[in-house]
Amino acid sequence: MSEARSGSANGDAEQLLAAVYKELRQLAASKMANEAAGHTLQPTALVHEAWLRLTRQEDKQFENRAHFFAAAAEAMRRILIEHARRRKALRHGAGQVRVDLNEAKTCATKDEDQLLLVNDVLDRFAALFPVEAEVVKLRYFVGLTHGEIAATLNMSVRTVKNYWAHARAWLYQEITARQN
């Protein structure tokens, strides 16, 4: 694993960001691979925007890797949500279908609707279960494995799996209720 996950408790934010940049880029690429074919946000842009948001903070010190990855996950989450909202906004052509002229293939905006719904439900979940919400953010928005999340949040893999199972069930129930 990279040096960012080795567990240095304190450190300069710039050094930490430089150490994990490549890893964040890979995580963003894997997350973006699951997005709709017409998605205009690229993994590099997602990482760069998250990087800028993290470095613009007045207090650039991160307590530990869990704090850093939580901040990075939250930054990526907010960027994806803002991007989805912008694309859905009427002034930006919400409801329009993107047509790839090379392939004459249409792309729906359903993924953005789902992302916004997940964000709303996740905010409610975080108010009730803040630690479990961190597990969801690291898994869903950053793409970390159960083992990586356990190391990042300093808990057992079994606890992470239990939190993930509970969160998925709770989120599924809430999303299903909102869609009906």
List, in sequence order, every beta strand (DSSP E) within 4-147: 98-100, 105-107
Handedness of CA 172, 177, 179, 180 (dihedral sign): positive
Burial of residue 71 (CB within 10 Å: 0-12, 13-18, 19+) is: middle
Where residue 1 falls among pLDDT bands split at 50, 70, 90?
very low
> Rounded to a whole number, what is the distance in angstroms from the first to the last CA of the chain?
43
* Average pLDDT of the residues of the chain: 74
pLDDT at 31 over 80: no
Q: What is the tens place of the pLDDT at every residue in 51-80?
A: 788 777 766 677 777 777 778 778 888 888
Instruction: Supply the pLDDT for residue 35.
Output: 63
Q: What is the tens place of the pLDDT at every residue in 112-122?
A: 777 788 888 89
Indicate the pTM of the whole model. Answer: 0.52
Domain extent listing, the chain:
7-179
Q: Which letter does DSSP use for residue 97 in this model?
A: P
Residue at 67: amino acid letter = H
Contacts of 81 (CB under 8 A, 6+ apart): 115, 116, 119
